[in-house]
Amino acid sequence: MRQTRKTVNLLFLLVCALAVLACDGTEKNIKSDKGSENSQETGIHKTAERGPITVHLDIDKTELTIADRLNLTLTALIDEDYEVKLPGFGEKLEQFGIKDYHTSQPELTENNRTRISRSYVLEPFLSGEYTIPAMKISFQKKNTTDATLHEIETEALTVHVSSLLPENFEKMTLHDIRPPRSLPRSNTIWFWAGGLLLFFLGSGITGFLIIRKRNLGKDRTMIRKIPAHEQAFDELQALVAEDLVEKGKIKEFYQKISDILRRYIENRFNLRAPEQTTEEFLSQIRTKNDFDDAHKTLLKNFLTHCDLVKFARHQPETEDIQKTFDSCKAFILGTQQED
């Protein structure tokens, strides 16, 4: 009887041990599967083949914000007795602006094929669906009387560009503002003292600016060779990188984005926007034919809203902040100088 019980106990322990090992193996398999899933590449990677050529088209993401940039790489692998010509796009690729591009030197691979690639850094202007069109790559055989030019075409790709914050760009209506807060009255003596201080300070600044303009006249000519819209977009990119909204520095954000648009208008239309009040500037552009009515209205709403935040202590909502950023970028895009 005792021998039978021992046998049963041994069998029970053996079954438990096998169950534990099986569970452990299953858990390892699950972890392994999760690891392979996490290691999958992001973006889109497409391949096209025709005869002696293979083309790879890669983008690093399919979802990005209006402040991000997209990296696109076009790589061609072709038999060494053929030559290939990659497409060129100038300064734009459909709805994208091309911030930078680089073409590699032809490289001979182990399979007696030549590899050449071209990488682009693309920047969106507004939120929405963007299409990267099909690209045609031409190739032909070297050192032959047959001048037939062949072509291979990649697939068209679609990416989604979203705003920095939830917004409805088409409706430029801003929320009602809070009434301005009255400032405490100052004593007469402090008023006159402050006036004299401002007078001397203003005189010093005016003298400094006159000297600075004389000394930097040549440098300013060099700077203006850069297109005004490119300079403005670079400044907007730097502003986003400062992350002022997340840090709660809303007034500083509005001050800087207002300055960016004013500098753009000065460089683009030779108007002295940074040195004028909003009322003076809006009065000046009413007689200008450089802006259509839609852009004048957009500019008026933008500058008025910025002044409310800077001077009337208005607290904008997140939707208003996004509309302000998008309207600034839309104004620059709509009035940029054509090539």
Q: How many CB atoms lie within 10 A of CB 229?
A: 19
Q: Is residue 158 part of a domain?
A: yes
Residues 154 and 235 in one domain: no
Residues 54 and 144 in one domain: yes
Bridge partners (DSSP) of residue 152 are 137
How do residues 120-153 score in pLDDT, each as one tens digit?
898 887 777 888 888 899 998 888 777 788 999 9
Lateral strand order in the sheet of 150-153: 82-85, 136-141, 150-153
Instruction: Tell me the pLDDT band of 18, cut-offs 50, 70 and 90.
Output: low
Residues 223 and 120 in one domain: no
Q: Which of 162, 183, 207 is the last residue of a domain?
A: 162
Q: Is residue 30 part of a domain?
A: no
DSSP 124: -
Least confident of 5-9, 62-66, 113-117, 303-307: 5-9
Residue range 5-29: average pLDDT?
52
Q: Is residue 180 part of a domain?
A: no
Residues 136 and 57 in one domain: yes
Residue range 60-78: average pLDDT?
88
pLDDT at 252 over 80: yes
Look at residue 170 in the predicted model and tell me its pLDDT: 47
pLDDT at 159 over 80: yes
Higher pLDDT among residues 8 and 155, named by residue: 155
How far is Cα 127 from Cα 328, in angstroms, rounded to an integer?
13
Residues 137 and 230 in one domain: no
Task: Yes or no: say if 221 and 270 are a contact pair by the CB < 8 Å rule.
Answer: no
How far is Cα 10 from Cα 17, in angstroms, rounded to an integer?
11
Residues 156 and 230 in one domain: no
Q: Which of 133, 162, 191 is the last residue of a domain?
A: 162
How do residues 87-99 score in pLDDT, each as one tens digit?
877 656 766 778 8
Q: Is residue 187 part of a domain?
A: no
Residues 224 and 158 in one domain: no
Alpha-carbon distances of 254 from 98, 259, 260, 304, 310, rounded to whole Å: 27, 8, 10, 11, 7
How far is Cα 261 from Cα 236, in angstroms, rounded to an integer?
9
Number of residues that this document lists for the chain: 339
Q: What is the pTM of this model?
A: 0.47
Residues 60 and 155 in one domain: yes
pLDDT at 325 over 60: yes
Higher pLDDT among residues 255 and 34, named by residue: 255
Q: Is residue 9 part of a domain?
A: no
Number of domains in the chain: 2
Least confident of 3-17, 89-103, 216-230: 3-17
Q: Is residue 82 part of a domain?
A: yes
Residues 257 and 324 in one domain: yes
pLDDT at 288 over 80: no
Question: pLDDT > 70: what percent of the chain?
Answer: 73
Instruction: Tell me the pLDDT band of 25, cut-offs 50, 70 and 90.
Output: very low
How far is Cα 72 from Cα 100, in angstroms, rounded to an integer?
11
Residues 143 and 251 in one domain: no
Look at residue 53 in the predicted model and tell me its pLDDT: 92
Query: 33 burial class (0-12, 13-18, 19+ CB within 10 angstroms)?
Result: exposed
Instruction: Tell me the pLDDT band of 32, cut-offs 50, 70 and 90.
Output: very low
User: Mind giving me the DSSP string for 196-253?
Assistant: HHHHHHHHHHHHHHHHHHHHTHHHHHHHTTS-HHHHHHHHHHHHHHHTTTTTT-HHHH
Residue 101 structure tokens: 């591009």
Look at residue 208 in the predicted model and tell me its pLDDT: 82
Q: Is residue 18 part of a domain?
A: no
Q: How many CB atoms lie within 10 A of CB 51?
A: 11
Higher pLDDT among residues 242 and 289, named by residue: 242
Q: Which of 162, 192, 227 is the last residue of a domain?
A: 162
Q: Is residue 67 part of a domain?
A: yes
Residues 143 and 220 in one domain: no
Query: 120 burial class (0-12, 13-18, 19+ CB within 10 angstroms)?
Result: buried
Residues 156 and 225 in one domain: no
Structural domain of 147: 44-162
pLDDT at 166 over 70: no
Residue range 180-198: average pLDDT?
67
What average pLDDT does the chain have? 77
Look at residue 26 in the predicted model and tell me its pLDDT: 44
Look at residue 305 in the predicted model and tell me its pLDDT: 87
